[in-house]
Structure 1
Amino acid sequence: MPRLGAARLGAALLLGTTTAMAAPTPQLQLTGLSDSRLITNVGLSMPRVGFSCQASTAHIRRYLDAASEAAEEALQAYGYFNARIRPSIQRRAECRDPALDIEAGPVTTIEAVSIDLPEPIREIDSVRAFVAEQRPSVGAPLDQAAYDALRDGILSRVQKLGYLDARFTRRELVVDPATQSARIALALAPGSRYRFGEVVIEQSILEPELARRLTGVPPGAAYTSRDLLAMNRNLTGTEYFESVSVRPMLDQRENLEVPVEITTYPNPRTSYELRAGYATDVGPRVGAGVKRRYVNKRGHQWSARTELSAIEQRLETSYTIPRAADPLRERYDIYARVTREDNNDIVTTAAASGVQWVREADRWTRSLFTEYLLDRTRYGDEPAESNGFAILGGRLGYQGLDDALFPTEGVVFDVSLQGAAEPVASAASFVRGRAFAGGYLPVGKWIFSGRAEAGVIVTDQFDKMPRSLRFFTGGDRSVRGYEYESLSPRDEDGTRTGGKYLLVGSLEAMFPVVEDDWYLAAFVDSGNAYTDPEAELKTGAGVGVRWRSPVGILRVDIAQPLDGSDGLPMLHLGLGAAF
């Protein structure tokens, strides 16, 4: 097949070799064509002019014979089988140039198309969609490159689905130059479908069966190239391995099975991290963490981390056990945490320990947990009160954003429900529910985003509810224009005590001002945490700047509260997506 190109050439194309300030050299002259596709394809197909102006006439005519043959093939690629090509030698100054004058003639059109695929292959979505899109129309001009793409595309898709011995029993492109018509006929014999055979994983840090299950592809599954990529992605995403190479042993396939060889390079057993940041909600903060990526050959993991700021101090640890039956998607976590928070004249010290089951698959996260929470809180000048709760809860989440660091499209939501019963080692009975949803929508250069959050606590003993489970809002990631967790019911002394209900909403629009790295934003937030269902929502609005930094969105906002008070605009700084 002649080459197809996208170069722009004129109706007369000159090809040859030139040297600055040197003697003239022969140049091929092409005339007669007006279709840019034909000009480009013929031009790219021409042999190089490799002779001088002193070449003999016989030498030039041999070149013209080769050029004419190449031009004929280039025209046939687009269905022109009756072209008239007139070679000649033209004099120019002290040189003679080879020349081709080309008349393309009538284009060949498709008279009939027959594509015979057996039923199992016709039912494959990717094959069916490809054939429907690429099938040439009767009466359309013949394009041999499109025919080749159709033929090769069918075979490639079938083989990627495990029909490795597939072949065409009939593949015909019959052209009748006399009638300028063409007929296409394809018939496929797929053969039997292969399965994955023995999977050999070169590694020494995990039990062999655990490593095999971490590929995510069960033994004997139908062979597909997509599952080969999934094996690589799944093993790399476990944190056990730094890099993974998956290689199907196609030359060793037998009995309709393809063995697979996987080479791995382990991550260091232990990782450490130090963090530092600043946000107007909590001020400067520092953190540190340590993680044991593999404690033993059963794939257990351990981690601990701490985070310190002027408002909150936190220390937590967890021990993770992958579920043997499905270690890629399910795990059990045994965890403990201790926190201390001093904000808005509320001082809280809390400790919790528990266990949870987590399943992550297809962007969904499901979890069930039980924990014991011990909370000691002092509101204003009131005496501190300690309460314990045996909590049972669950969570359902979905993460459908296109980019975790700088999302521009997609949705995310999270729903959780937890509760305790007073007779079961708890200071009070309660049920607490919370729901969050957000999304991004690109419209031209604009990016619009919105989020909404709602929460409710059902209890007859709200005064015994731990501070960590009550609702507060206001600040960088909720209602801007108000201080961190400043929107809350107050007691008789004016101390914020947290609410039984939560309702927050936000709309934002961003527009790029410097390429795709710097954006201007405008937003409006509204919400409150309250006990009285008729409480007034607080609203803030403002403008900001967004920078697509290497570690996420850097947000700088100036927001004005719109509650009728004389409050001054507030500056909000943050790093990361708004949700």
Structure 2
Amino acid sequence: MISPRWSSFGTPGRHGLCRAIGRWLAGALGACLLWAGQVQAQTQAQAQAAPKLQLTGLDDVRLITNVGLSVPPVSFSCQASAAHIRRYLRAAAESAEEALQAYGHFNARIERSISERADCRDPALHIDAGPVTTVEEVIIELPESIREIESVREFVAEQRPEPGDPLDQAAYDALRDGLHSRARRLGYLDARFTRRELLVDPATQSARIALVLDPGSRYRFGEVVIEQSILEPELAQRLTGVPPGAPYTSRDLLAMNQNLTGTEYFESVSVRPMLDERENLEVPIEITTYPNPRTSYELRAGYATDVGPRVGARVTRRYVNKRGHQWSARTELSAIEQRLDTSYTIPRAADPLRERYDIYARVTREDNNDIVTTAAASGMQWVRENHPWTQSLFTEYLFDRTGYGDDPPASNGFAILGGRLGYNGLDDQLFPTEGVVFDVSLQGAAKPIASAASFVRGRAFAGGYLPVGRWIFAGRAEAGVIVTDEFDKMPRSLRFFTGGDRSVRGYEYESLSPRDADGTRIGGKYLLAGSLEAMFPVVGDDWYLAAFVDSGNAYIDPEAELKTAAGVGVRWRSPVGILRVDVAQPLDGGDGLPMLHLGLGAAF
């Protein structure tokens, strides 16, 4: 039986078909590449043959740049007629003349010509800029209400040309427009120049400037309409921070947005002045708000060698009612300390943006250095925050049950009254590089008023950062004192301890403290500690090397010696805050070994 098959000269077999298609594709690709190469060569040749404007005679980079940006582009080919090129040269010369006048050259000489080359003709301008015009007289007249404002005074001092200065029309425009815009930002929305002159005498190469501003009447903030439904209208109005009828300024307009956004009530805020609807010297304001979710939840985690791993959780009720009350509760857990607290915040109706009342309660348990403490406190405080200052007064009842070493726990209660004054001028709260911060507190209790002992406790802290070139220098100092005749009854939470990651590195957490006869650390009546540190960036602005010296102690005997340690460390500006790795060596002559200190994440 003979099987049928394809003839060798008929329809090709599978492999012959593939080879034919391959040869066809290869030929097509080669043709495309050849065509593309020819097109590219032709385009390059055309580009090389295109006319180009030739500028000669100028050596001032500013003039060359301004003329080059001002003249019209060459849009004709090498085959253009001489008449066409001459028309272009007239337009280019006029534009160049205006560009030179912008920098005070009013007597420039410009020669036009056509430059021949092998396959093309180029338009050419030879420019002699001539002498520069200088300012001979400057007259600036502003009403006292505007002239005495610091921002205006500084602007005029910086921008006002002096007699003999070269004329710069761009600088004149900036001075004129800057004065007008500053007047409008200060609420003089109808401000206008009654005299606005720049007079140039080309014959004498001199110029006179005159700016006389009539500001008109100053506008005030009119009706403020706030679109929101979560707060009482009166409270929302006060949260803007700008009282009705206040002078209209762009700074206060921005402050309205920042003040409302800075509260926890709103996710976003849009403030719009209705300038087209102003009348009777009042500008109505329309504010659109979008509320935050009513309740927020937060989980935290971190690690430090002081307390080891730590976790925390927080729940916040951003607005309990339309009076703007807030409630929050949080817990923090580590191997050494466990804490639970809650607070209820009431904004002060007269000034809700800066003042509030807090009603709070907390329960803590701490087990460290053979001291076991369980404490509970409840109280209330008044707080006023007027950035960068913070003031507060508080009263609370504290119950403390503490056992030192093998001694049985003792329970004591205290009715405490206290106050605090703080200042925070740091440029960055997560990784400061400049600024000053300090905090001073004073509190006390009287034995006749439901307290186990009478005492007065004061504490002061100050710190600062100073950049010098690429270096950052930091310093801090802390001092504390307790005045009492019954120190043995003082609650553990009010005694002084030091040592650890954030005080005297090289020593364990709260290990610097007086001891009793059994060697148990009992805390001190006095505290003195300080630190000096220098940081230098090694990788961009995120990685730093640090060297430091810490010294301090907590003591009962005022003549006790300070403990000192020195070390080096690494700082990393991480997305969640600063990561600190330090190695510190005690310098007190003992057998102490270098100690590693590690801090990661937010400080609770």
Q: Give the deviation of 1:551 after TM superposition.
A: 1.8
Partner AA of 2:417 in structure 1: L
| 8 A contact 1:215–1:230 mirrored in 2 | yes
CA deviation profile, 1:261-314 (whole Å, cap 9, x unmatched): 111111110000111111000001111110000000000000000000110000
Tell me by how many angstroms 1:489 deviates: 0.3
Please name the residue that 1:233 is paired with.
Answer: 258
Q: Does 1:167 align with 2:205?
A: no
Structure 2 match to 1:134:
159
Q: Which amino acid aligns with 1:433?
A: G
Counterpart CA distance in 1 for 2:399 and 2:170 is 72
The AA in structure 2 aligned to 1:559 is A
Among residues 162, 169, 194, which one is paired with 1:144 in the alignment? 169
Q: 2:378 aligns with which of 353, 359, 369?
A: 353
What pairs with 1:156-195 in structure 2 (closer than 5 Å)? Answer: 156-195=181-220
Cα deviation 1:3-46 (Å, max 9, x = unaligned): xxxxxxxxxxxxxxx95343510000000011111111111111
- What secondary structure does 2:537 align onto? strand
Q: What is the distance in 1 between the residues matched to 2:205 and 2:567?
A: 68
Matched residue, 2:105:
80
1:383 pairs with one of 386, 404, 408 = 408
Partner of 1:69: 94
Partner residue, 1:373: 398
Q: Does 1:331 align with 2:356?
A: yes
**Of 528, 542, 560, which aligns to 1:517?**
542
RMSD: 1.2
Cα distance, 1:60 vs structure 2: 1.1
Relative distance call for 1:19 and 1:422 in structure 2 (3 A) is: farther
* Partner of residue 505, structure 2: 480
Alignment correspondent of 2:46: 22
Determine the C-alpha separation between the residues in 1 that align with 2:363 and 2:549. 35
Residue 142 (structure 2) aligned to one of 106, 117, 132 = 117
Residue 21 of structure 2 is matched in structure 1 by: none
Give, in angstroms, the shift of residue 552 of structure 1: 1.6
2:470 aligns with one of 442, 445, 453: 445
**Equivalent residue for 2:582, pick from 544, 557, 569:** 557
CA contact (8 A) 1:107 1:141 kept: yes
Q: Distance in 1 between matches of 2:250 and 2:512?
A: 54
Q: Which of 124-133 and 334-343 deviates more?
A: 124-133
Hey, what's the Cα distance between the residues in 2 that align with 1:315 and 1:459?
29
Contact 2:526 2:555 in 1 (8 A): yes
**d(CA) in 2 for partners of 1:209, 1:290:** 27
Please state which structure has a larger fraction of its residues in helix: 2
For residues 406-448 of structure 1, what are the alpha-carbon distances to aligned partners after superposition, in whole Å with 9 as ceiling and x for unaligned?
Answer: 1000000000000000000000000000000000000111100
Superposed CA deviations along residues 28-71 of structure 1, whole A, max 9, x for unmatched, are: 00000111111111111111111111111121111111111110
Determine the structure 1 residue equivalent to 2:300: 275
- Unpaired segments ≥5 residues, structure 2: 1-41
| Residue 117 of structure 1: how far off its partner (Å) | 1.2
TM superposition shift of 1:122: 1.6
| Secondary structure in structure 1 of the residue aligned to 2:92 | helix
The amino acid that maps onto 1:362 is: H
CA distance in 1, matches of 2:166, 2:351: 54
User: Which whole-Å deviations, capped at 9, do the CAs of 1:223-257 have from their partners, x for residues lacking one?
Assistant: 00001110111000101111111110000000000
Matched, 1:427 2:452: yes
Q: 1:19 to 1:222 in 2, by over 3 A?
A: farther
Question: 1:57 is matched by which residue type in structure 2?
Answer: A
Paired with 1:547 and 1:457, the residues of 2 have a C-alpha distance of 38
Distance of 2:560 and 2:43 partners within structure 1 = 85
1:42 aligns with 2:67: yes
**Deviation beyond 6 Å, 4+ runs, structure 1:** 576-579
Q: Does 1:243 align with 2:268?
A: yes
* Contact 2:303–2:601 under 8 Å retained in 1: no
The answer as to whether partners of 1:406 and 1:577 remain within 8 angstroms in 2 is: no
Say yes or no: does 1:286 pair with 2:340: no
1:576: how far off? Answer: 6.4
- Amino acid of the residue matched to residue 20 of structure 1? Q
Match of 2:437 among 408, 412, 422: 412
1:461-500 to structure 2, matched below 5 A, reads 461-500=486-525
Q: Deviations over 1:467-520 (max 9, x none)?
A: 000000000000000000000000000000000000000000001111111110
The reply to whether residue 155 of structure 1 matches residue 174 of structure 2 is no
Counterpart AA for 1:39: I
Equivalent residue letter for 1:165: D
Match for residue 26 of structure 2?
Answer: none
Structure 2 equivalent of residue 571 of structure 1: 596
One-letter amino acid matched to 2:268: S
- Checking the alignment, whether the CA contact within 8 Å between 1:548 and 1:554 is kept in structure 2 is yes
**In 1, Cα distance between the equivalents of 2:603 and 2:45?**
64
Q: Counterpart of 1:367 in 2: which secondary structure?
A: strand
Match for 1:215: what amino acid? T
458, 466, 469: which is aligned to 2:483? 458
* Aligned residues between the structures: 562
State which of 91, 98, 103 in structure 1 corresponds to 2:116: 91
- The structure with the largest alpha-carbon Rg is 2
**CA contact 1:323–1:330 (8 Å) conserved in 2:** yes
Unmatched segments (≥5 aa) in structure 1:
1-17
**What is the distance in 2 between the residues matched to 1:339 and 1:408?**
34
> How many angstroms apart in 1 are the aligned matches of 2:521 and 2:545?
34
Counterparts of 2:393 and 2:161, CA distance in 1: 54
Report the alpha carbon displacement of residue 120 of structure 1 after superposing the two structures with TM.
1.6
* Displacement of 1:362: 2.5
Contact 1:213 1:326 (C-alpha < 8 Å) held by counterparts: yes
- Identity of counterpart residues, as a percentage? 87
TM (norm. structure 2) is 0.92
Report if the CA contact (8 A) 1:348-1:375 is conserved: yes
In 2: Cα distance, 1:393 partner to 1:317 partner: 20
Identify the residue that residue 226 of structure 2 maps to in structure 1.
201
